[in-house]
Structure 1
């Protein structure tokens, strides 16, 4: 393989894995989840809630786009809004039990992918790959904050 194609291979791998996991999620009763929802779930799963403005900032979208995403997720039963503890003008968004169930299924299928990869290339090589990717993220983080969000 030619040098310089590693970023494309990483992107293709990510896409293939996400497609597989979303197929499994659909079979598990989460057919209404889109890949874009996962970026919001990931952000919300690491905090006790967030405002739409915080979510918009994390996702790199407008406040209006984040509010629409929250509306959609709320209608689907994945998030709920509640009063902000310190700002009466703001509302907090947090995951519901259904949102956490979806994350749990996602994590189960992600672990299954890693297990298959360990079978394909060996557990030691998989650990080396993980370590190398972490170093790449650390290196990129020296220049700017690296967050998991859509880049398209």
Structure 2
């Protein structure tokens, strides 16, 4: 029987990772990136661009809230907005070179953190955790999406 602590421990581990990543990003010249931005970057890094409506739905915020966040990211040089190829009313948002550089830095930091975990629990232990989490995420179906919990 389990203790019931696993979901909380998973959340705590995620927060610890994100705090560490943001500290390291600041050291690499990305001090203006906030956790909410990462959820936008995550979506855009897996698409050929998204609209403000799609980003709002992904974040669970209003279109106006997403538009404000995108304006901030555009001003900071992380995203660009361009005409949508099939919808004259919409604009397509994509990562800029700076945005992609930030994504690459995050991925590198995640890998470094995982290597640190190998030292703590061993490669087999970490591979077991990863395998178990993949099963859990797979069983959750479409509800298992990396987005903020606001």
| Normalised TM-score (structure 2) | 0.96
Identify unmatched segments of 5+ residues in structure 1: none
From 138, 145, 148, the counterpart of 1:147: 145
CA distance in 2, matches of 1:113, 1:38: 17
CA distance in 2, matches of 1:50, 1:63: 13
CA distance in 2, matches of 1:139, 1:83: 38
CA distance in 2, matches of 1:92, 1:104: 22
CA distance in 2, matches of 1:134, 1:12: 18
RMSD, aligned CA: 1.0
Identify unmatched segments of 5+ residues in structure 2: none
Deviation at 1:97, TM superposition (A): 0.2
| Normalised TM-score (structure 1) | 0.95
Following TM superposition, where does structure 1 have runs of at least 4 consecutive aligned residues deviating by more than 4 angstroms?
Answer: none
Deviation at 1:30, TM superposition (A): 0.1
What is aligned with 2:119?
119
CA distance in 2, matches of 1:23, 1:71: 24
Deviation at 1:146, TM superposition (A): 2.1
Deviation at 1:149, TM superposition (A): 0.4
Deviation at 1:150, TM superposition (A): 0.3
Deviation at 1:58, TM superposition (A): 1.1
Deviation at 1:145, TM superposition (A): 3.1
The DSSP-based 3-state class of the residue aligned with 1:29 is coil
1:5 and 2:2 correspond: no
The DSSP-based 3-state class of the residue aligned with 2:87 is coil
What is aligned with 1:137?
137
| Count of residues in correspondence between the two structures | 149
Q: Deviations over 1:30-60 (max 9, x none)?
A: 0000001000000000011010001111111
What is aligned with 1:29?
29
CA distance in 2, matches of 1:98, 1:40: 14
Deviation at 1:122, TM superposition (A): 0.6
What is aligned with 1:66?
66
